[in-house]
A = this chain, B = another copy of it.
Amino acid sequence: MVLNPADDNFASKLHGLLPQDVFRPVEARYLEEPRGRYAGQAGILAVPRNVDEVATLVRAAAEARVPVLPYGGGTGLVGGQVMPEGPAPLVISMERMNAIRSVHPIENVLVADAGVVLADIQSAAREANRLFPLSLAAEGSCRIGGNLSTNAGGVNVLRYGNARELCLGLEAVLPNGTVWHGLSRLRKDNTGYDLRDLLIGAEGTLGIITAAALKLFPVPADVGTAVFVVPSPEAALKLLALVREQVGEGVSAFELIHGQGLDFLAEVLPDVRQPFADRPEWCVLIELGLPAGLKPVEALETLYEGADAAGLVLDGVIAQSEAQRNELWSVREHIPEANRRIGSVSSHDVSVPISAIPEFIRRGAEVVSAVGPFRINCFGHLGDGNLHFNVFPMAGRSRDAHENQREAVKRSVHDLVHEMGGSVSAEHGIGRMKVADLERYGDPARLEAMRAIKQALDPAGIMNPGAVLRA
């Protein structure tokens, strides 16, 4: 179906429907994305203040067959938030819908507009003596509507689940401009098809999320953090099983770190203090959040002793203070920034069945080296089976020199992931970057169902065309 651009004509129409201050000039930041792979087009930018204004905008776009680009914090890594091709879109930025609508401590529920910055939701929860556990690098600028639309992951998925698992209800504007009032605070509601989870992860292609009812959790009484050096990824997996046997769901994070990442840190971010004088090949960052009566530092000491006896650890640092905890986390959290400064040839946000991780790491190195000599920084959320398997030029070479190998590297890694029953997009989504991957690796019956659902809910194809599914 042919779409029309968000041109002056359409702008005039919108100005007749909504107050002037709903519209702003399209600044450059709305047309960029963090990795610089896509440049958006300047159409119309709308910054609505409430769900009714969003509905008016979408209804007008549906009538005029103008593409709509929902815009959150703009931090997505797969180009879902910029539209480089096709008719220029109506960008609907949720930045002014940024109120915490209500907090219900006794229910462990918080209701927020879609435009609230993730860190502000975390703060509002903390003020109510509760935890909102979604936590990721972009939390200072990403917005909860985008987090839900992309089903964001992060470092606490192991314990608390992805964004999808943290959401009870949604308010959303569907592609025909109707409002779904689904802001349920209910833990149980079995009345029909799960529209909530269909919109979550749809990356704005099936509607615009305007608000969400989110799950809160008790704040663990005490938190402890350690980094243990392990002899291998196999040992890391056994360590994970050991710590879970010991403290059950008390494991909040279990992050794998490779020596290559520590080398990068030392090279480009030397101020980040590293925990070990001798740079280890593999280590894991473990965080425990335990109820009253259990001491995380003691639990980590007990864990280390048991792991040592089983030959699963070579060295370890257990934080004895909040400052030391932050120092250990700082190592983990600065690895993506170090990667950016080094400049990857190809980055892969993949997952495999957890028990297949060691084999994947081994075979991944093999398939990459078959393309050429590269450095690999493999790190991430081991407890979720989610690795960032990023491929870099050898020292002294630039990524530009490998531009013509990028596709081969990506293909070889993704083919391996697929062969091993994994996912080529564990937490970042499909966006525009992985549309071809989805077509290549996706289950045909599911793809057909996805296309049928898209056609059913958005027959004109106005919602974020070109993302997830080919326009």
Contacts and interface: CB of A to CB of B under 8 A. Distances in A.
A420 to B, nearest CB: 11
A187 B221 contact: no
A338 interface: no
A157 B188 contact: yes
A418 to B, nearest CB: 10
A460 B221 CA distance: 55
A423 interface: yes
Interface stretch (A86-94, A269-277, A290-298): A290-298
A174 interface: yes
Interface stretch (A7-15, A61-69, A134-142, A444-452): A444-452
A253 to B, nearest CB: 13
Interface string A138-152: 000000000000110
B456 A452 contact: yes
Given A182-B446, A237-B106, A189 B249 contact: no
B445 A247 contact: no
Interface in A239-255: 240-241, 244-250
A190 B291 contact: no
A194 interface: yes
Contact of A355 (B107, B184, B191, B386): B107
Contacts of A291: 246-250, 290, 294
Interface stretch (A38-46, A346-354, A363-371): A346-354
Interface string A209-248: 0000000011011000000000000000100110011111
Given A247-B291, A427-B190, A353 B185 contact: yes
Contacts of A164: 194, 197
A320 interface: no
A74 interface: no
Contact of A188 (B153, B217, B448): B153
Given A195-B450, A293-B294, A355 B106 contact: yes
Nearest to A353: B185
Nearest to A422: B186
A206 to B, nearest CB: 7
A438 interface: yes
Contact of A106 (B105, B109, B241, B249): B241
Contacts of A202: 193-194
Interface stretch (A17-25, A116-124, A428-436): A428-436
A250 B158 CA distance: 17
B220 A188 contact: no
A50 interface: no
Nearest to A289: B248
A425 B190 contact: yes
Contacts of A351: 186-189
A302 to B, nearest CB: 9
A72 to B, nearest CB: 15
A329 interface: no
A95 interface: no
A181 B452 CA distance: 18
B218 A249 contact: yes
A425 B189 CA distance: 6
Contacts of A425: 189-191
B188 A162 contact: yes
Interface in A255-308: 290-294, 299
A181 B437 CA distance: 17
A188 B353 CA distance: 10
A235 to B, nearest CB: 13
The 7 closest A-B pairs by CB, nearest first: A456-B456, A197-B197, A189-B423, A178-B445, A452-B456, A188-B426, A248-B291
28 contacts: A106-B355, A109-B353, A150-B190, A151-B194, A174-B445, A180-B443, A181-B443, A185-B354, A186-B421, A186-B422, A188-B384, A189-B426, A190-B423, A190-B426, A190-B428, A191-B437, A192-B442, A192-B447, A194-B201, A195-B449, A217-B249, A247-B291, A291-B294, A293-B294, A449-B457, A452-B457, A453-B456, A453-B457
Given A188-B381, A191-B425, A248-B291, 20 more contacts: A104-B353, A106-B237, A153-B190, A157-B188, A164-B194, A165-B165, A180-B445, A187-B383, A188-B384, A188-B427, A189-B423, A190-B426, A190-B429, A191-B424, A191-B430, A191-B441, A193-B206, A194-B194, A197-B198, A294-B294
